[in-house]
């Protein structure tokens, strides 16, 4: 389908060509009249385009007025690795044991949960964008600027004063009215600001949600319901699937995701699992929420938590010295970006399949490479991986998440460098990133009952415990098993089933 903007351009060329052909033979008075007629015709068409653009929101407003239904809200699923069954102390490897028969191991590959393949975006490189219907060529809005703090960025973002809305408790009526007010305001500059910031910082989908949400919290301070509606409006305008839900007291932002989001309430609508996000920190769990079936326009992209690229956030560099012994004692001075740590802190609980694939920041990766490369020179791939195992096993204190936080928390690789202690899935995420970036080998995650490790594919045959994926051998590498080299699995897991987690 041709966009409105493209169609307008083609019409302009068509008008110019027709006028040129007439001007060869027409007298000047006739030509002036012809120009006037064409100008009126063109203006009429542009008005029709504007009417079409507005009609999308008007139709949605009419839809909202009488489409609310009650849906049950379910308690969020807990993180899959229970904190009370992890080892309290880091286990030590006594001596090599290669009696494990790999043919007896059952391997089951698991990938990110697909919420609903029929509604899932097929574009893996989706980026938030502005639909051509939303273009406003001539704005008479009264523009203001809000200064937003966004993980180290100082963002002066423009907005139309008409974006200010106010909701009353008759939500079934005030929500459609507020949506209509937003759609009639000049939201184009604000939306373009969001898109430009997203492109400049490599935000993932959740980062884009946070950008819109932080702007909303400044635009409507302590007006949590207005924040929810504005955020939902802007996400829909950006191409995302997002719904509004409400009960007697509050509005909620409903967002589907292709990944499991733990410890977050959810509801099922038309085969999609929508996670319930409350902007009011004092508001607890609810049993049911009113929302609607159907989507704004034909949006089909849910909120993906994976990171396609490393985030480009301003550098707030923190340093840390890591001590470990590999034949002799070593000390590495590493760096990490505190702004990225703050970003991760505000993410909901996401599974190992997301943290395992997340990249390190440029300062963190460069400092690790600088410290590790001299130790890796002259070594073969097996020796390099063993050194990285030694580094992760000995360089970081072990502590379960329950002991450190009182809850289960899966670390991103950068967080392992920041927090005083880490456990099995956290170290596996950091180790996997180091193997990929420093040694250049393929790695997968392993989820045993109550334990997480990794496995690495080597270019040559190496003896040891392994799993297979697509007829390829991956040697087990356990960053939590003190003293264990590549190919050494914990004895208690040698006959256990294992799930494979593939990196993006």
Dihedral (Cα; 216, 217, 221, 225), 10-degree rounding: 70
Q: Could you tell me how many residues make up the chain?
A: 504
Q: Which of 234, 265, 291 is the endpoint of a domain?
A: 291
Do the Cβ atoms of 225 and 250 come closer than 8 Å?
Answer: yes
Cα distance between residue 63 and residue 327, in whole Å = 70
Residues 175 and 211 in one domain: yes
Confidence at 98, pLDDT banded by 50, 70, 90? very low
Mean pLDDT within 92-99: 48
User: Residue 76 domain-assigned?
Assistant: no
Instruction: Give phi and psi for 221, each to the nearest 5.
Output: -60, 125
Q: What is the pLDDT of residue 401?
A: 78
Residues 275 and 328 in one domain: no
pLDDT tens, residue by residue, 241-283 = 999 999 999 999 999 999 999 999 999 999 999 999 999 888 7
- Tokens found for residue 10: 């083609």
Whether 216 has a pLDDT exceeding 70, the answer reads yes
Do the Cβ atoms of 311 and 343 come closer than 8 Å?
Answer: yes
User: Residue 376 domain-assigned?
Assistant: yes
Whether 109 has a pLDDT exceeding 80, the answer reads no
Q: What share of the chain is helix, strand, coil (3-state, %, to 5)?
A: 40, 20, 40
Whether 78 has a pLDDT exceeding 50, the answer reads yes
CB-neighbour burial class of residue 88 (10 A; exposed 0-12, middle 13-18, buried 19+): exposed
Q: Which of 265, 291, 317 is the endpoint of a domain?
A: 291
User: Residue 490 domain-assigned?
Assistant: yes
Confidence at 100, pLDDT banded by 50, 70, 90? very low
Q: Domain span at residue 226?
A: 118-291
Instruction: Give phi and psi for 319, each to the nearest 5.
Output: -115, 155
- Tokens found for residue 417: 């460098």
Residues 269 and 357 in one domain: no
Distances, alpha carbon 127 to alpha carbons 5, 204, 212, 227, in Å = 20, 9, 15, 23
The DSSP string of 54-99 is HHHHHHHHHHHHT--EEEE-BPPPPPSS-GGGS-SS--B--S----
Cα distance between residue 412 and residue 428, in whole Å = 10
Residues 234 and 153 in one domain: yes
Q: What is the CATH number of the domain that holds 441?
A: 3.10.620
Cα distance between residue 477 and residue 457, in whole Å = 10
pLDDT tens, residue by residue, 345-387 = 999 999 898 999 999 999 999 999 999 999 999 999 999 999 9
Residues 230 and 334 in one domain: no
Q: What is the 3-state secondary structure (H, E, C) of 90-149?
A: CCECCCCCCCCCHHHCCEEEECCCCCCCCCCCCCCCCCCCCCHHHCCCCCCCCEEEEEEE
User: Residue 299 domain-assigned?
Assistant: no
Cα distance between residue 200 and residue 151, in whole Å = 14
Q: What sign results for the dihedral spanned by CA atoms 438, 452, 415, 204?
A: positive
User: Residue 296 domain-assigned?
Assistant: no
What's the whole-number average pLDDT of the chain?
Answer: 84
Question: 489: helix, coil or strand?
Answer: coil
Q: Name the maximum alpha-carbon separation found in the chain.
A: 102
Q: What is the pLDDT of residue 284?
A: 73
pLDDT tens, residue by residue, 467-504 = 999 999 999 999 999 999 999 999 988 888 899 999 87
Please count the other Cβ atoms lying within 10 Å of the Cβ belonging to residue 307: 20
User: Residue 189 domain-assigned?
Assistant: yes
Residues 122 and 107 in one domain: no
- Tokens found for residue 179: 């949506």
Residues 42 and 102 in one domain: no
Q: How many structural domains are present in the chain?
A: 3
**Eight-class DSSP state of 301:** B
User: Residue 74 domain-assigned?
Assistant: no
Mean pLDDT within 120-148: 70
Whether 115 has a pLDDT exceeding 60, the answer reads no
Residues 31 and 98 in one domain: no
Residues 45 and 97 in one domain: no
Residues 284 and 366 in one domain: no
Residues 327 and 394 in one domain: yes
Q: What residues pair up with 372 in beta bridges, in sequence order?
A: none
Residues 137 and 229 in one domain: yes
Distances, alpha carbon 296 to alpha carbons 3, 120, 299, 317, in Å = 18, 15, 6, 42
Cα distance between residue 81 and residue 424, in whole Å = 10
User: Residue 460 domain-assigned?
Assistant: yes
Cα distance between residue 348 and residue 217, in whole Å = 18
pLDDT tens, residue by residue, 301-321 = 999 999 989 999 999 999 999
- Tokens found for residue 124: 């893996």
Question: 181: helix, coil or strand?
Answer: helix
Mean pLDDT within 425-443: 97
């Amino acid at each position: 389908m041709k966009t409105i903007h493209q169609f307008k351009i083609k019409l302009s060329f068509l008008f110019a060509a027709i006028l040129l052909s007439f001007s060869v033979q027409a007298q000047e008075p006739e030509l002036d009249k012809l120009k006037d007629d064409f100008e009126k015709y063109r203006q009429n068409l542009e008005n029709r385009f504007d009417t079409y653009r507005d009609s999308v929101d008007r139709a949605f407003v009419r839809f909202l007025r009488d489409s609310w239904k009650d849906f049950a809200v379910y308690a969020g699923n807990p993180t899959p690795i229970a904190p009370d069954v992890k080892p309290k102390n880091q286990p030590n490897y006594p001596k090599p044991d290669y009696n494990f028969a790999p043919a007896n191991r059952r391997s089951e590959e698991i990938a990110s949960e697909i919420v609903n393949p029929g509604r899932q975006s097929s574009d893996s490189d989706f980026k938030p964008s502005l639909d051509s219907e939303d273009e406003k060529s001539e704005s008479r809005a009264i523009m203001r600027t809000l200064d937003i703090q966004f993980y180290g960025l100082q963002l002066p973002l423009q907005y139309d004063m008409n974006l200010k809305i106010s909701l009353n408790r008759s939500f079934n009526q005030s929500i459609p009215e507020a949506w209509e007010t937003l759609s009639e305001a000049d939201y184009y500059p604000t939306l373009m600001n969001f898109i430009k910031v997203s492109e400049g910082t490599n935000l993932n989908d959740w980062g884009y949600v946070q950008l819109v949400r932080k702007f909303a919290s400044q635009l409507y301070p302590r007006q949590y319901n207005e924040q929810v509606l504005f955020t939902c409006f802007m996400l829909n305008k950006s191409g995302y699937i997002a719904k509004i839900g409400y009960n007697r007291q509050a509005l909620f932002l409903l967002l589907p995701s292709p990944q499991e989001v733990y410890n977050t309430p959810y509801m099922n609508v038309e085969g999609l699992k929508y996670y319930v996000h409350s902007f009011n920190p004092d508001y607890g769990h609810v049993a049911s929420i009113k929302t609607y079936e159907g989507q704004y326009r034909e949006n089909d992209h849910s909120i993906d938590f994976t990171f396609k690229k490393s985030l480009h956030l301003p550098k707030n560099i923190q340093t840390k010295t890591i001590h470990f012994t590999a034949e002799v004692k070593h000390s590495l001075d590493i760096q990490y970006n505190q702004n990225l740590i703050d970003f991760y802190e505000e993410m909901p609980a996401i599974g190992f399949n997301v943290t395992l694939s997340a990249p390190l920041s440029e300062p963190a990766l460069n400092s690790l490479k600088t410290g590790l490369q001299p130790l890796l020179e002259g070594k073969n791939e097996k020796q390099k991986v063993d050194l990285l195992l030694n580094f992760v096993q000995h360089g970081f204190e072990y502590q379960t998440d329950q002991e450190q936080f009182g809850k289960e928390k899966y670390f991103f690789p950068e967080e392992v460098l920041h927090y005083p202690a880490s456990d099995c899935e956290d170290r596996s995420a950091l180790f996997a990133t180091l193997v990929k970036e420093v040694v250049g080998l393929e790695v997968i995650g392993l989820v045993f009952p109550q334990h997480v490790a990794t496995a690495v594919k080597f270019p040559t045959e190496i003896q040891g415990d392994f799993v297979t994926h697509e007829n390829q051998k991956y040697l087990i590498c356990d960053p939590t098993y003190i003293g264990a080299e590549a190919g050494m699995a914990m004895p208690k897991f040698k006959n256990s089933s294992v799930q494979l987690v593939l990196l993006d």
